[in-house]
Structure 1
Amino acid sequence: MTIYHLAEPRHWEAAVAAGSYTQSTRGRTLEEEGFIHCSSDAQWPVVRRSFYGDLAGPLLLLEIDEAGLAEPPVIEVGNPQTGETYPHLYAALPVDAVVRVTELPAPHGR
């Protein structure tokens, strides 16, 4: 199965150099948040609009093959009001598990 993560280019570039990605979400690291936020194919466009709408530069959509992860994602409620669940990674994301990187140009709020 494939899951998705939105990354700022500078964080992904650092991850490629280091071999693993540790940014949880905009402005927060795995260490600070406790996990890396991910989305399904249907969820990432909503996350893009909701959390990155004001970002002036491009974003990267990371497509993650779950088979490349040492630990499977944990599916948890991400929105208590709706009960909607999201995949979360409780370990650093190995760059080798990312099978495709797509640049998404701004604006992101549409």
Structure 2
Amino acid sequence: MIYHVVPLDEWAARPDRPYAPASLAEEGFVHCSPDDATTLAVVNAFYRSAPRPLLVLCLDESRLSAEVVREEAVPAPPPGVARGTLFPHVFGPVNRDAVERVLEIRWDEEGRAIGLEGAN
């Protein structure tokens, strides 16, 4: 299982098409994380001001139609993530049938991501 963070509005925008976030056009891949803890660190580093609700797509890598390559964060991983952690990058749109479940970020009173909970 690999994890991708997305605001609800972006995920729901075109439910009849494969999901293709801006990073796919801009960087050539869809950013993902290898586990829950890394996902929360990424949210706290990059998504604290993102529109909410903020979702996490749990992707079954074996069902993805695009290639997945694990790469180190450049120039460095976000705070709380060990150097050398490999991040899964999906080199193409995410076919929706690869989404095993959708979770929602749980926040504390100071706006920090503290957990994942079932959204569907």
TM-score, length of structure 2 as denominator length: 0.76
The runs of at least 4 consecutive aligned structure 1 residues that moved more than 6 Å come to none
Is residue 37 from structure 1 mapped to residue 19 from structure 2 by the alignment? Answer: no
Alignment partner, residue 20 of structure 2: 22
Structure 2 unaligned spans of 5+ = 77-82, 114-120
1:4-51 superposed Cα distances (whole Å, 9 cap, x missing partner): 000111111124232x1111xxxx331112100000113101011111
Structure 1 unaligned spans of 5+ = none
Alignment partner, residue 89 of structure 2: 88
Conservation of the 8 A alpha-carbon contact between 1:5 and 1:62: yes
* Alignment equivalent of 2:49, drawn from 44, 49, 54: 54
- In the superposition, relative to structure 1, how do residues 104 and 88 fare at CA in structure 2: closer, same or farther (>3 Å)? same
1-structure distance, mates of 2:73, 2:45:
14
Conservation of the 8 A alpha-carbon contact between 2:66 and 2:93: no
RMSD after superposition: 1.9
Between the two proteins, the alignment pairs up a number of residues equal to: 104
Q: Which amino acid aligns with 2:112?
A: G
2-structure distance, mates of 1:13, 1:71:
20
TM-score, length of structure 1 as denominator length: 0.82
- In the superposition, relative to structure 1, how do residues 56 and 72 fare at CA in structure 2: closer, same or farther (>3 Å)? closer
